[in-house]
Structure 1
Amino acid sequence: MRKVWWVVPVAVAGAAAVRRARPAHEGGERAGDRWLTVTVNRAPADVGSEGKPPAPLDELADRIDVRIRPAPGDRGTELGARFREPVPAESTSVPARLAGRDPRQELRRALRDAKSLLEAGEVLRPDAPPTTRPTPGGKLVELFTRRSGGEGVL
Structure 2
Amino acid sequence: MKHAARTALVLAGAGAGAAALRRLASPPTDPRRGERWMVVTIDRPPMDVLPEGRPPRPLDEFGDALEITVRPAPGDRGTELAARLRGGVSPARTSLPSRLAGKDPRQEVRRALREAKSLLETGEVMRSDAPPTAREETIGGRIVGLASRRSGGEGVL
Report the TM range for the smaller structure's normalisation. Answer: 0.7 to 0.9
**TM-score using structure 1 length:** 0.76
Instruction: Check if 1:139 corresponds to 2:138.
Output: no
Structure 1: distance between partners of 2:95 and 2:152? 14
If each structure's helix is expressed as a fraction of its own residues, which one has the higher value? Answer: 2
RMSD, matched Cα: 2.1
Structure 2: distance between partners of 1:95 and 1:49? 38
- 1:149 deviation in Å? 4.7
Structure 2: distance between partners of 1:123 and 1:131? 21
Give identity over the alignment, percent.
61
- Note if contact 1:43-1:77 (Cα within 8 Å) is conserved in structure 2: yes
Q: How many residues align?
A: 130
**TM-score using structure 2 length:** 0.75
- 1:61 deviation in Å? 2.3
- 1:139 deviation in Å? 1.8
Gaps of 5+ in 1: 1-12, 24-28
- Note if contact 1:97-1:149 (Cα within 8 Å) is conserved in structure 2: no
- 1:123 deviation in Å? 0.2
The AA in structure 1 aligned to 2:108 is E
- 1:55 deviation in Å? 0.8
Match in the other structure for 1:148: 151
Gaps of 5+ in 2: 1-18
Match in the other structure for 2:131: 130
Structure 1: distance between partners of 2:150 and 2:58? 22
